[in-house]
Amino acid sequence: MITVHHLENSRSQRVLWMLEELGLPYEIRRYERNRKTMLAPPELKAVHPLGKSPVIEHEGRVVAETGAIVEYLVELADGKLGPPPHRDAALRYRFFLHYAEGSVMPPLLVKLVLSRVPLLGKQAIKRIQPMIDTHLDFIESELATRPWFAGDQLSAADVMMNFPLEAARSRGGLDGSRPHTIAWLDKVHARPAYKAALAKGGPYAYA
């Protein structure tokens, strides 16, 4: 049995969706954010020294970082939702698997932090938004050519890209001006596994 240490309104919602898609058995241990700081509670440090979510436990192993967790789950499911067989599609898979957290999320997170800083934050956001727009334009151009990030089928690359794009729609300027990306999000949200994960995960502001 896989144990998911799940923090509300966080990246760990992706892990629940992944597990539902794979049909792997799991249990959830929920954690709430501090209502003043919005940080994870100190109890998570008892699970992993960084005190972050998501973290999973399985057969005595503790696995942190969403990308590492997703790759672990692909291996556990004998390659389901893993890289497509064609070399070019497999390369796209690996690119988006890492691009989600390595490139897209940082400016979105910076914008969130700056939005909480009066006056100076608003000025700084004017420099951050063009960076976000560059990513959103790139993503839109990619999704205009195929239904999923790696190819014709849902993969773990889509699971990884979901949270950045949900965050972008919430606070990064993603709207109907990028119809292929919005259609991709709507398609994800309509999946039975996504809905099941949402029902089990508790509060989540980005769906």
- pTM of the full structure: 0.93
Residue range 87-191, CATH number? 1.20.1050.10
The string of pLDDT tens digits covering residues 64-90 is 999 999 999 999 999 999 999 999 999
C-alpha separations of 38 from 8, 122, 161 in Å: 10, 21, 23
Higher pLDDT pick, 121 / 12:
12
Domain with CATH 3.40.30.10 in the chain: 2-81+193-201
Residue range 2-81+193-201, CATH number? 3.40.30.10
pLDDT above 90: residue 1: yes
Domain with CATH 1.20.1050.10 in the chain: 87-191
Name the pLDDT band for 121 (thresholds 50, 70, 90). low
> What pLDDT was estimated at residue 85?
92
User: Can you tell me the mean pLDDT for 138-162?
Assistant: 98
Task: Give the best-scoring range by mean pLDDT among 5-9, 27-31, 73-77.
Answer: 73-77
> What pLDDT was estimated at residue 42?
87
Name the pLDDT band for 126 (thresholds 50, 70, 90). confident
Name the pLDDT band for 27 (thresholds 50, 70, 90). very high
